[in-house]
Structure 1
Amino acid sequence: MTPDQEADLVTREYNPRLSIPNVPEIFARWVEQGKAARSASPNAKFDLVYGTADGERLDLFPAAQPGAPLLVFIHGGYWRSMDKSDFSWVAPEFAKRGISVALPNYTLVPKVTIEDIVRQILRALAWLWRNGEALGFDRNRIVVSGHSAGGHLTGMALAARWPKWESDLPKDLVKAGLAMSALFDLRPLIKSPFFNNDFRLDEALACKLSPALMTPATRAPIMTTVGGDESSEFHRQNGLVASRWAKSFAGDIAM
C-alpha cells in the first residue's frame, strides 16, 4: 500500500461524514435542539469563565436540589469544530433527574494544539471541583462524558495525575467516565493530511496524547460505546481501552 493509499484509507475510516448518512442534517438538528434546550432552561448559567483563553468558557445546567452530582459533557468535532452550545440538549433531562450538567468549551485546532486542549479541559475540571459548593453541586461526585474528540478528552481526564498537576486536587477528581465514539489511539491520524495538517502530530506526541497507551490514574470505571454503523477503526479504538484499561473498564454499551 502506498502512502497515498494509506492516507485515503485512514481518512475514510476516521471521517464519519464518509460512512454515516445525513451527518450534516444530524449536526443541524443538534444545533436546533441546543437552542431549544437553552431557551427552556431559565436557571442555566452560560459562559462561565474557567481560564484566560477565549475558548475557556463553560455552561452549567443546575439540578433543582443543591448538592447534586455533576456530569461534565465534552463536545466532539475532531478538536477543530463544533461548540458546547451544539450539545445543550444533553443537559435538561439529566437536570430534571437531579444531576447537574456542565458543558465546557475549548479553543479549537489549528489555533491551538490537541495538547493545549487537553490542558484546557483539565483546567475546566479543576475549576469545577474548586467551585462546586458555590455552584451548588457535589464536587466529590464528578463524572465526565464526551463524544468523539470529547470521548478522547474523557479518557485523558481519567488518565490525569491530578495532584502532580495541581497539589490541591484529589487523585480521584473524576469518579467515572463514559466515552462515546472516542479516539483512544491518535497514531493512525498522523497518516492522513486531511486530519494532521491541522493536528500537527508526530509519533511521540500522538503517543503522549493517546489514553490507550497510558495507565489510568485511578480505579474509576470507564464505559464506552460506538455506533453499530461506524467504521471498523472506531470499533477497534473502542476495543483498545477495554484491553488496555482492563482493571478500570466497566463495560461496552451495545448500540
Structure 2
Amino acid sequence: MTPTEVTDQAYANSAYIPGGHSYFARWADQAASFRSVHRHAELGVPYGDGARQSYDIFHPLGSAKGTVIFVHGGYWLAGGPRDFSHLAAGAETAGYACAMPSYTLAPEARIADITRDIAAAIGTIAWRTTGPIYLVGHSAGGHLVARMACVDMVADWSHRVARVMAISPISDLAPLMETSMNAMLGIDATEALTESPVHLTQQNMAVTAWVGGAERPAFLDQAQWLRTAWDCDLTIEADLHHFDVIEGLETPHSAMMRALLR
C-alpha cells in the first residue's frame, strides 16, 4: 500500500467495526424517533447567516440545571446534529438542556472556519441559557470542543464551562495531511499547528478525553496525545469501538455521563 492508503486505513472506522456501515441509518432512525416524541425541543435555531449555522436544543421538564452542548463528528466533512438527537436523552433525563449545533462542512469551510462556527454557536447558546455549560464532542467534534478549551478561544462564556469531554478526539491534525480526505479538508502544515489542541495551550478548564478500548490504534494514540499534552483526564472504556463509545450519552447514570457532569 502507498503511504496515503496506510494512513487512510489507520483512520477508517466502518470497515473495522462489525456492521459498521449500518450505524449511520440506525442513528438517524433513533434520532428521528427521539424528536418525534420530544415536546420541549427547538429545532433549527440560527446562530449565524450560513445554511448550516443553526442548532437544535432539547429542554428538560422544569428549570434546567445547565446545558450540555454536543458537537457531532464526521471528519468535518459529513453528518449533522439531526443524526444524533437521541444522544440528548441522558442530559435531558438528568435535568439538563442539550444543544446540538450544526456547522459549515469542508470543503466549503476550512477547519479554522469550523472552529469559529462552533465558538459562535456556543456564544449564542450561552446567551440564551443559564447555569454551567458542558461541552462534549465525538471524533472531529472531539477536536472542536477541545479547541474551545484553548487559550486563543477564550470568550465571555468560557468561565461557565464546567467540563469539556473530547470523545475519540482528533487532537493532532498532522496525520490527516497524509490521508486522501485531505483533498477536501485542505489541512496544511500551518493549520496543523494552529488548529491542533496538542500544540496549543489549555485554558484553566477541566478536560476529559474518552476513547473506546477497541478503537483503531490511531484514535487511542490521539486521545493519549491529548492527555500527554494537557492537564487532562483520560478514560479508555474497555471493549467499545468508535461508534458505540458514544452510547453512554443516552443514559443519565452511565459512566460517561457521571464523568461529564461531576
Question: TM-score, normalised on structure 1?
Answer: 0.89
Kindly indicate whether residue 184 of structure 2 is the aligned counterpart of residue 198 of structure 1: yes
**Structure-1 separation of matches of 2:182 and 2:30:** 31
Q: Deviations over 1:10-66 (max 9, x none)?
A: 100012123223222011110000000101111111000111111111000012222
Contact (CA 8 Å) 2:213, 2:236: kept in 1 or not?
A: no
Contact (CA 8 Å) 2:145, 2:166: kept in 1 or not?
A: yes
**Structure-2 separation of matches of 1:177 and 1:225:** 11
Secondary structure of 2:191's aligned partner: helix
Contact (CA 8 Å) 1:146, 1:178: kept in 2 or not?
A: yes
Matched with 2:215 is 230
2:230 to 245, 250, 255: 245
Contact (CA 8 Å) 1:147, 1:180: kept in 2 or not?
A: yes
Q: Which runs of 4+ in 1 moved over 4 A?
A: none
Contact (CA 8 Å) 2:171, 2:226: kept in 1 or not?
A: yes
Question: TM-score, normalised on structure 2?
Answer: 0.86
Structural RMSD (CA):
1.5
Matched with 2:45 is 48
Deviating more after overlay: 224-233 vs 38-47: 224-233
Kindly indicate whether residue 149 of structure 2 is the aligned counterpart of residue 152 of structure 1: no
Secondary structure of 2:233's aligned partner: strand
Matched with 1:96 is 93
Contact (CA 8 Å) 1:20, 1:229: kept in 2 or not?
A: no
Secondary structure of 1:15's aligned partner: coil
Contact (CA 8 Å) 1:223, 1:253: kept in 2 or not?
A: no
Matched with 2:84 is 87
Tell me the amino acid that sits aligned with residue 220 of structure 2.
Answer: H
1:67 Cα offset (Å): 4.2
Secondary structure of 1:78's aligned partner: coil
Kindly indicate whether residue 162 of structure 2 is the aligned counterpart of residue 175 of structure 1: yes
- Cα separation, partners in 2 of 1:130 and 1:162, compared to 1, 3 Å: farther
Contact (CA 8 Å) 1:212, 1:241: kept in 2 or not?
A: yes
**Structure-1 separation of matches of 2:186 and 2:195:** 12
1:224 Cα offset (Å): 1.6
1:253 Cα offset (Å): 4.2
**Structure-1 separation of matches of 2:144 and 2:66:** 20
Matched with 2:251 is none
**Structure-2 separation of matches of 1:171 and 1:129:** 10
Equivalent residues in 2 for 1:10-21, closer than 5 Å: 10-21=7-18
**Structure-1 separation of matches of 2:95 and 2:211:** 27
Q: How many residues align?
A: 238
Kindly indicate whether residue 168 of structure 2 is the aligned counterpart of residue 185 of structure 1: no
Deviating more after overlay: 88-97 vs 147-156: 88-97
1:108 to 91, 105, 110: 105
Q: Which runs of 5+ in 1 are unaligned?
A: 133-137
**Structure-2 separation of matches of 1:233 and 1:161:** 26
Tell me the amino acid that sits aligned with residue 251 of structure 1.
Answer: L
Tell me the amino acid that sits aligned with residue 180 of structure 1.
Answer: I
1:128 Cα offset (Å): 1.2
**Structure-2 separation of matches of 1:130 and 1:44:** 17
**Structure-2 separation of matches of 1:236 and 1:58:** 31
